[in-house]
């Protein structure tokens, strides 16, 4: 189990999740919790493939959207930077 946490990459999480349906927000937070449980391994999850680190993208809800996140080892934190949702 990891000691990592997750947070939105802004003090105002409405900047990232504003206007999204509650179910989408719940799914984003569930995935962020799972990414935090991966710890350092979250640096290789999602796109781009073939390299680790940097801004990563991960599909949500069967490809109806995606989250962009950073895995920052020195902070032991996953930062959710953006949520793109296609209704």
> What is the DSSP code string of 14-54?
HHHHTT--HHHHHHHHHHHHHHHHHGGGGGGSSBSTTS-SS
Residue 69's pLDDT band (boundaries 50, 70, 90)?
A: very high
- Tell me, which fold does domain 5-85 have in CATH? YaeB-like fold (3.30.2310)
- The better pLDDT of the pair 59, 10 is held by 59
pLDDT digits (tens, 9 = 90+) for 15-62: 899 899 999 999 999 999 999 999 999 999 999 988 999 999 999 999
Domain borders along the chain are 5-85
Question: What pTM was computed for the model?
Answer: 0.91
């Amino acid at each position: 189990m990891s000691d990592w946490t997750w947070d939105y990459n802004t003090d105002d999480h409405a900047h990232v999740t504003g206007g999204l349906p509650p179910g989408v927000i719940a799914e984003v937070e569930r995935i962020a919790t799972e990414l935090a449980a991966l710890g350092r391994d979250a640096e290789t999850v999602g796109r781009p493939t073939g390299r680790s680190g940097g801004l990563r993208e991960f599909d949500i809800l069967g490809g109806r959207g995606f989250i962009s996140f950073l895995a920052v080892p020195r902070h032991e934190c996953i930062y959710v930077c953006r949520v793109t949702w296609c209704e």
